[in-house]
Every structure is written in structure tokens, then in C-alpha cells.
Structure 1
């Protein structure tokens, strides 16, 4: 099977786009290609990444693409620390060797160890520096692995979490939000949230310094956050799926961007008389 690649020109229109000078800069980390990327995965990755860019822009942020599959990548520590915040999007499976899985699990898909290593180095630096991070699906799994956790390599049965053979991959799934979490602060009306899911892997042993903040009705971990950092949140579902709730998507991306905006404001205050904080040179579009 021919492996396809997402064209970055399809992700965010530049005509007429001019970010505000004080817009928080967001590094959007995603692999534009990975092994076994066929037409369905290509369409999903294009649509989801495009939606993430649109939501970040609509919330007043300036998203910058960081392709974790690129042959020439920036230094991961510099890439983690330069922007005001980071979004890690979904993609292929995490290499099982990184969490003690000795052999390929059933249904393993799209493993790219170089992309994994790059993302883990970015996450480690971001956690250490208390950056603002929103990790989605594969991103939330990488967050768990970065902190010493493990993954369920292949959920069986997985009908709550993805479509079956011959069905659409993504399904509506109800998750239970845990009180006192960043997510419960965002979605205050109920402890139940209907989300868009399409995963066959999930957090198993929870990593050090992480706490579970949402679970599925079968007990599978659906969200986590780092307990000793300001705002590092992982969700197993796909808020960037534009077939899901627009209001929930706006609320979640908006809350993340607001955290990035506050970080940028604090950084400007620290600079003081040295001048305003501009966009990081190594990530400027």
C-alpha cells in the first residue's frame, strides 16, 4: 500500500490571515505522514488538523505547524519552549517498545519511532518547564508514556471507543468527568460529556504525576492531567473532529488558548522594560 502524506498547504489558508501582534503562539505537533497512511487516515488527519488550526485561530491564537515526521526537524527542546503553548494531535500508534511491550500487538498501525522519540523529547522539556500543553489521542498516550506509564496496546472489545468492521471509525462516546479537574472546570453543567472517539489503544498504568480526570463507562482512562503543573491536559478523544459538538470544541480549545494567553502576559511582564514579547523566531510562519 502506498503511504500518503498530508499537504501542509491544505491545513490553514494564509490569504487574508494576519495574527494579532499579541496572539499567543501555539506549536501544533502532528505527523503529516506515517507508515500505512491510506486514504481514510489521510482524510481524517487532514480534516482534524485543519479543524484544530481553525479553532486555535478563532480563539485568537497563532498556530504554527511542527511536523514530527519531517526528515529535518527542529531541536525538540527549543521547539517545546519557544511557543506559548503546545497541541499534540493524533496519528499512528506509539511504539510498544517505549512502554515495555515486547512485540507488535494485534492491529498495530502507523508506528514511527523517530516521531515518537521527537514528541517524547518535546513533552519531557515542556513538562519540566511547566509549559501549557493540550495532548489529544496519540498525544495523551505519549504524555502518559513520557511520565513512565503504559498503554493498552489493543482494546478488545473496543465497540465503545471506535466503529467495528465496515463501520465509520469514529463514534460518539459518553465519558465521565472527574470533579476538581481542569476539564470539570470547563464543562460545569454536567459530569457527563459526549465525545468523538476512534481509538484502539488507551492509557493503562497511569504515569507518575498524572491523575485520571475522565473515564469511559467501561473504566478506560479517557483524560489525564499533570498534578504539579499549571495546565497540561491529555484527552483520549478527538475534540478536533468537526463531526462532534461545536460548542464543546470551542470551550475546550478556548480554555487552552486562554491559558496560553495568560502565560504570554506573564512573560511580557517579566520582560518589562526590555520590550514586548514577539513570536519565537524559529517558529515564525
Structure 2
């Protein structure tokens, strides 16, 4: 008996219930199933707060821990009195709750499904290579940085290397401005939502004829990441390799020692690894340090 047979039997007793079940079955996703943790919010510290903005109320500097959830509540600005540095805000969770706070204690926030017109502002420059290709460092929220690159580089990028948060439960990444801890029952869903949003942008930036996406990860999320990449890049040739990070192993309490991390290569179009011809100087040159270089004899 399949799902359609069950719906038909239910319809004999309760047609409305049968329709609800049918709608649910038609809305199911196949492949990697998780609860999307949206909307995701990001703080915009350089934005001028205006009436109608969504904001967080910040605590006095140095008075609370950085992960105090009390200061992650979301408010909407309903009135401003800049002359007296006062702002009236209304809670998004409880519309009958309002506060009057100092303007300087607010930081604007925005949902990821809300249009944000990003741009780049040059803050410094170091020129040492003449006319040679140069590097650019973008300091910003990675989602917005990728969106900014879309204006000029959509479909033109040859290679994207991603070293995402590994979702270890330590304070190595935030979702909605909160650290995601190991006892958060939605930590995998939050991580997958975080990754999917950014991987979709990365895909738009990559050259569909010849490019590669490289992503490092450890055992906490490597299996989920692999399935997510399969779903987002069905046309690509995806390979995962092991990368030895510590041959002697890293102690992990009552678990096996860890020696490896993992690297996913998402090869798009005609992209493939090619032998790299190295001169003899690569192997015979005198070392300047005492540490052993594990990748030195790679051919």
C-alpha cells in the first residue's frame, strides 16, 4: 500500500483530512531533509537607524557576555527624537510592548530575504606588485560580500575556496547573531540553512563552463555537506578527499584520535585536476625553517 492508497482510504471517512494529507505529501522534499531556520538576520552596524527599521538594543559595552540572548530581541523603530537622542521601539514578539531607549544603543538588523543594496568602500591599499594581479580583502558579512561580487563577476569566477564554520559546538560561528552551541537541537538545520544560502550565491558566481568550488570540513558535518552539494550542484563532478592534518592524531577524550579533515572538490564543466610541473629547485632548495613540510614532495 502506497501513500496514494492511504489518502484514498482516508477520503472515504474524512475528505478534508485526506486533502490535508495530500497537500503535505506534495510539499515534501526528497534528498536532504531539514527544517530551514529562516529568516536569518544580520546586524548592519554602519547603517543609520531610521523610522521603520528593525533593530537590536545593545547593552553598555563590557557589561554582558557576547552571547547573552536578552540583547538579541528584535524591535521596530516607531518614532525618533534625535534632538534628545531618544527612540521609541516596539517589540516584534509582543506588539503591546514598547520602550524608549537611547539612539546610540541601537543597531539596525535586516532579514536575508530583505533587499540590501551592498557596496564596497576602500579603506586601505598596499601596492607592491606593479601591474601584476593583486589581492582584495573584503571585510563584511560573507553573504553580503558574495551578493556584492554578483554585480561584476556573475558566471566569471574560476575558483572559490570555502573554509566554513565546522559546527563543532564551540563559539566558532553565529546564526541570527547568537552562537550555536552543541546542545542546540536545531544546530544542524541552522548550519545547513547558513550554508545553502551562501552556496547558492557561490554557484551563480562560478563559471559554468570551467570552474571549481573547494570546501573544507571535518566529521561533524561532512556527510550533510556532501548531500547538500549533490543537491545544489547536480551537474558537477564532486569528489571528497581526506587531508591529513596531524599524523599522530588529536586526542578527543573517549573517542578515536582524529588525524584527518576532508576537502570537497565540486568540479564544474570541464574542470579537472592537472599535473603541475615543478622545477628541481622545488625539492633541492635549502629550507629556511626546521619544521617538516608535509606537502613538500607533492608532484
Q: Same fold (TM over 0.5)?
A: no
Larger relative contact order (CA 8 Å, sep ≥ 6):
1
Please report the TM-score for the alignment, with normalisation by the length of structure 2.
0.29
The structure with the largest strand share of the pair is 2
